[in-house]
Structure 1
């Protein structure tokens, strides 16, 4: 099942997808174009306490940026204020030279996880969504002390449009990813090419910290990132999970 959070007729609603429309809890069907705003598709009773994001988790992307592929996960923490929804806007600061998208499969934790074994990892996943984790290269100091302005700016991480139940994604490690900028394909890849796959990450994180229901894990992006300018419409799409639309605005 596909879940969404939307604003419609002045109120926030949890909705599910039904034959291309949005089914509200009161039984009404709403056309996507009638939605006032799409919100990050977080479960209302399980908001993320922790948002973990992977850097350089695809070898081709590490090569693209002229970095050596990491031997253990390169991870940073994000705040919830970075999140925004489908068809929303992300600001590009006026003084930057290179700001790019990052299409990322995002894991939604479903159960409290501590010392989880790799073979049991999928039992702790509620579902998946799409993230576009924008980065501003101008602000990056180094990979060991990443500047907060790179990854923790308001609106820098569109999420959605759907939260798809794990049962509806049979193999999250074999999903095609694609990004378009103004309708032109600029990035394509597959989750099978992750250096550290989803089961590994669940085992790794839960070995030293507790994951809570609703926590998010952004799993990195493949190569093919390009500079995004004000007015550009970016669509980050993952097979079976959704197509996330976002527009760049000048700050």
Structure 2
């Protein structure tokens, strides 16, 4: 396995490789791991995320999985990096973490079978698919502001090649306390399936990112919190929450809400999935 990172080195964006606690640029310069200014480890043209995939999350919502995965889109303007600040706008309350594994495409990909997907994946990184549920009432279906607001897609710290996604543990911690723990083995659809499914109708380009879903227990975080997502073999993605200096403008658009649906979804309830619960046995 090789781990690549993108950092700001002497004012320039440089892709470096990791060797222990050192990061090495192609020209031989090096920087200590803890002193590096990180950037997202890839430059996607699109970020696509699956809704439900981990069985623990399905059980938490008392839902049932559809016959095939469903997706939403996060704009590239939501990108953030290891060590970056995640902004909760003033006037919003329901900002949730969602630790995930991210797939990074390495070769242009269209109309392939799942057993061909591995040849089109450059590697994997860690993601935190933050959701600003204050906008869930007005963005039902699209998830645009819920999942696509600025800073809500940290990726990193590095991109790891030749990483086997099977049997890997994902752990999310808030201020050092474990909040999520799950395994890639509890995913209904694995990484190769997700890539092949999207590539049936959407061309995936090098650098594009697919987010593979989160385990149970996504919950709100507050300004001042430090959130870490750790995945076996991929490292630790760390971010901190800050409050935005300004609130949501009130002279245009819908305002943040705090309905039963908002609170239920943010706190792990089943509002979103009422009516599609599994049948009683």
Unaligned 5+ segments in structure 2 are 245-281
Instruction: Find the aligned partners of 1:139 and 1:106 in 2 and give their Cα distance.
Output: 24
Q: How do residues 1-251 of structure 1 correspond to structure 2 at under 5 angstroms?
A: 1-35=2-36, 37-42=37-42, 47-141=43-137, 145-165=141-161, 167=162, 169=163, 171-251=164-244
Instruction: Find the aligned partners of 1:67 and 1:93 in 2 and give their Cα distance.
Output: 30
User: CA 1:144 to 1:200, structure 2 compared with 1: closer, same or farther past 3 Å?
Assistant: farther
Aligned-residue RMSD, C-alpha:
1.7
Instruction: Find the aligned partners of 2:138 and 2:243 in 1 and give their Cα distance.
Output: 26
Structure with greater Cα Rg: 2
3-state SS, counterpart of residue 160 of structure 1: strand
Note if contact 1:140-1:146 (Cα within 8 Å) is conserved in structure 2. no
Instruction: Find the aligned partners of 1:199 and 1:147 in 2 and give their Cα distance.
Output: 24
Please state how far the C-alpha of 1:200 moved relative to its aligned partner: 1.3
User: CA 1:142 to 1:66, structure 2 compared with 1: closer, same or farther past 3 Å?
Assistant: farther
User: CA 1:111 to 1:17, structure 2 compared with 1: closer, same or farther past 3 Å?
Assistant: same
3-state SS, counterpart of residue 145 of structure 1: coil
3-state SS, counterpart of residue 59 of structure 2: helix
Please state how far the C-alpha of 1:175 moved relative to its aligned partner: 1.0
- Give TM-score scaled by structure 2 length: 0.82
Please state how far the C-alpha of 1:143 moved relative to its aligned partner: 8.8
Aligned residues: 243
Please state how far the C-alpha of 1:69 moved relative to its aligned partner: 2.5
3-state SS, counterpart of residue 60 of structure 1: helix
Instruction: Find the aligned partners of 2:175 and 2:124 in 1 and give their Cα distance.
Output: 25
Instruction: Find the aligned partners of 2:187 and 2:139 in 1 and give their Cα distance.
Output: 18
3-state SS, counterpart of residue 151 of structure 1: helix
- Give TM-score scaled by structure 1 length: 0.91
